[in-house]
Amino acid sequence: MDDTLESLYQQISAFDFTYCGMAHERIQRVKEGLEPIRNASIDHGYQRSEYCCSTTRAQRLGCAHTTGRIRFCEFLDALPRPMFDEERITKWKEELQKLDLLIVKVDWQKSDAELDHARQSDALCQGTQESPERNAQLANTSQLIRELIDTHTDYIERLRQLRNEVLAEIRFAQAHRV
């Protein structure tokens, strides 16, 4: 039992939290400027940044494309009963699943906002007449992207708190084992 708990503790504590702002959704720009890099082989027409490698993503609980949250849920299922109350485990799993859905949703929203921003800035760079309305639209989309990044950061913090709560409960169980 002690080996199982320690193994679960080590595996759960190995999860990482990186505040990347969902960098993989970012549209690449010409020389870090306003003009987006086009890519005709992609259906939306713009070049995005690359994903982190799958090994890295698997350890990052806040990544939209991670397998880590699935593994975290499996680790919660592996906590020994009755040492860990079924109701508590269910509560943790529900919070994890809720955060999973929220992270995926904000990832899709950022993807759409980044594409909107690319189209708007592309229109300005292609010589379409600049106007206060177009500039305001671009500024609003930039603000939306910042807000989505902030929301994602909040979700990562909630995941960190959940992970830390589970780790504290494991240590408590180890220390108070009869």
Separation of first and last alpha carbons in the chain: 12
Burial letters 107-126, b for 16+ CB under 10 A, else e? bebbbebbbbbbebbbebee
Predicted local distance difference test score (pLDDT) of residue 129 = 63
Distance in angstroms (rounded) separating the CA atoms of residues 61 and 16: 6
Could you tell me if 8 and 79 are in contact, meaning their C-beta atoms sit under 8 angstroms apart?
A: yes
Predicted local distance difference test score (pLDDT) of residue 87 = 96
Predicted local distance difference test score (pLDDT) of residue 96 = 98
Tally Cβ neighbours within 10 Å of residue 167.
Answer: 16
Distance of CA 128 to the CA centre of its chain: 35
Distance of CA 101 to the CA centre of its chain: 10
Query: pLDDT means per 10 residues in the chain (178 residues)?
Result: 88 93 86 82 83 85 92 96 93 98 96 93 78 89 97 97 98 84
Predicted local distance difference test score (pLDDT) of residue 128 = 64
Could you tell me if 64 and 114 are in contact, meaning their C-beta atoms sit under 8 angstroms apart?
A: no
Distance in angstroms (rounded) separating the CA atoms of residues 171 and 165: 10
Could you tell me if 27 and 44 are in contact, meaning their C-beta atoms sit under 8 angstroms apart?
A: no
